[in-house]
A and B are shown apart, each in its own frame.
Chain A
Amino acid sequence: MNERVKARTALGTAIVLVLLAPWVLDQPYWRGILVVCAMNVLLALSLNLVLGYTGQLNLGQSAFFGIGAYVSTLLIKSYGWNFWLAALVAVGAAGLLGLALAAFAVRLRGHYLAIASLGFAVITYQVLVNWENVTQGVRGIYGIMPPVASTTALFYLVAGIAVLVYVLIGNLVRSPIGETLRAIREDEVSAASLGINAALWKAFAFGIGAAIAGLAGCFYPGFVGTLVPDAFNIVESFTMLAMVIVGGMGTMIGPVIGAIVLTFLPELLRGFGELRLMIYGLALTLVVLFMPGGMVQAWMALRARIR
């Protein structure tokens, strides 16, 4: 009962924060950053399910983000589809491609999986660049309309979806499926000895993670207005990885905090000009060195010390 009350309170707080955010940061520029932040939260949540809960080092998330963006945009621009229908198909496409990659990748572990998924991200990026008949290549696609008119409305939309996804994934990882996924993360042989089909459940997590990244991708083109392959460069995979690790992987709230911090930190450092990326890099290194469990673990250690 106590836990349920806690969860309700947390959800209420999150909703209030989301509602207030565009009015605290009320300049158009910062409202735009808020939209990016909400998308990053979705991406971090998606990667955390795969990496944090199932233990698969997936560096291909940028590809699924891109697939969601391109599939939805092309369906809207070339075939005149309605945004939501296009988004549904794009999410399905990203999820299915995730499953297809997982069918091969689940046999791999650790570095090998990382290399295979990174390879997938490189290939996807190259396809977006070179398949010019369809994607327009580096020339890009222009004049993409967002599903809702104002930046604030777009933020509410994406943040609302992020909250919903958070609740659903939160339920999933507290359910017996969560125990199954974490069991696989801890020890696959042992999991198999309990009747767990590790390959199946790893593919399941991988597919859902890919679909959620694809969902985030659906909102990106409308927000920016143009679509170029560079937005889905493999570097984006590492940014998502940083968000999950800095926040605290394998916890629900950690990657959310990581996504928020790593979205706003570069913006706050803009005053430092050229030094910005150095400070950003240094901060990341310090976190990984001294808070291996991320900010969530550091906070819990701090709280334990104070008590």
Chain B
Amino acid sequence: MSKSFGGVRAVQNVSIAVPANSIFALIGPNGAGKSTLLNLLSGIYQPDAGSLHFDENNLIGLPAHRRVRLGIARTFQKIRLFKQLTLLENVLAGFHIHQDAPFWKYLVYGNTGRFREEARELLAFVGLEARSGERAGALPYGKQRMLEIARALATQPRLFMLDEPAAGLNAAEVDFLLKRLEQISRRGVTVIVVEHNMDLVMNVAHRVFVMDHGEPLFEGTPREVQANPRVIEAYLGGEFAP
């Protein structure tokens, strides 16, 4: 796929194949086009050229909200919670596509209590069950990231994309996140993670895709990426390359 903004070629001829059930990391220096690629995958942007498939489904032209119904969920680099709503309401909103009661039931009964239990379980999964009644905007930064993960998981995705989930987290929180990502993956969810935190990437990813200046640079296992001179050059500049 390719995508330009004015004269800026944010993503150029990037071709990726993400194996099902893997944890796939997208890395690269700032401005490499990782977030743009994620926005192309999730449908926030449409590519200028190229093709995009999820299982048998052609995703080109499909708006973001329709892709969610196919099983694609995501979190955002800059946290986008529903700040005025409670933690529980945030997660319940994530169950939107699974709400199937007829309209008149909502008019007559109001809250049907559906998915309440599941939402609490998801809050417990990210360690926030005790704060379910608080407003999301009042949470500390790291917890907000975890809440966004719980909210996205409520859509019950088969492909889960996270845009820099470890940004702004302390070491303990990164550790917690790492364990959760592995658990999500073990449940049969394919994970794509854009990340700068190399500890996380090297520990959790099965495959790593490196981008630079909007173009693909290298793809391989974490070990191969660490040893690749071109990757090191892109990150550290030419003189440090072996």
Contacts and interface: CB of A to CB of B under 8 A. Distances in A.
Interface of A: 168, 170-172, 174-177, 179-180, 182-183, 186-187, 189-198, 250
Contacts of A189: 44, 64, 76, 80
30 contacts: A170-B110, A171-B106, A171-B110, A172-B106, A172-B107, A172-B110, A175-B105, A175-B107, A176-B92, A177-B106, A180-B96, A182-B84, A182-B89, A186-B81, A186-B82, A186-B84, A186-B85, A189-B76, A190-B76, A192-B43, A192-B65, A193-B42, A193-B68, A193-B73, A194-B68, A194-B93, A194-B97, A195-B69, A198-B65, A250-B84
Contact of A190 (B80, B103, B108, B154): B80
Contacts of A179: 85, 89, 92-93, 96
Nearest to B106: A175
A193 B83 contact: no
A227 to B, nearest CB: 31
B94 A194 contact: yes
Interface residues of B, number: 42
A179 B42 CA distance: 22
Given A176-B92, A176-B96, A191-B93, A196 B107 contact: no
A183 B82 contact: yes
A24 to B, nearest CB: 31
Contacts, number: 105
Contacts of A174: 110-111
Interface string B43-74: 11000000000000000000111101100011
A174 B89 CA distance: 10
A194 B152 contact: yes
Contacts of A168: 107
Nearest to A186: B82
B35 interface: no
Contacts of B108: 171
A182 B152 CA distance: 17
A189 B152 CA distance: 13
B209 interface: no
A168 B43 CA distance: 35
B151 A176 contact: no
A198 B64 CA distance: 11
Given A171-B106, A183-B93, A187-B82, 11 more contacts: A174-B111, A176-B96, A179-B89, A180-B96, A190-B80, A190-B82, A192-B65, A193-B73, A194-B94, A194-B154, A195-B66
B106 A195 contact: no
A183 B154 CA distance: 14
A194 B96 contact: yes
Contact of B152 (A172, A175, A183, A193): A193
A84 to B, nearest CB: 20
A195 B92 contact: no
Contacts of A180: 93, 96
B96 A175 contact: no
B114 interface: yes
A193 B93 CA distance: 11
A191 B96 CA distance: 9
Contact of B80 (A182, A187, A195): A187
B151 A194 contact: yes
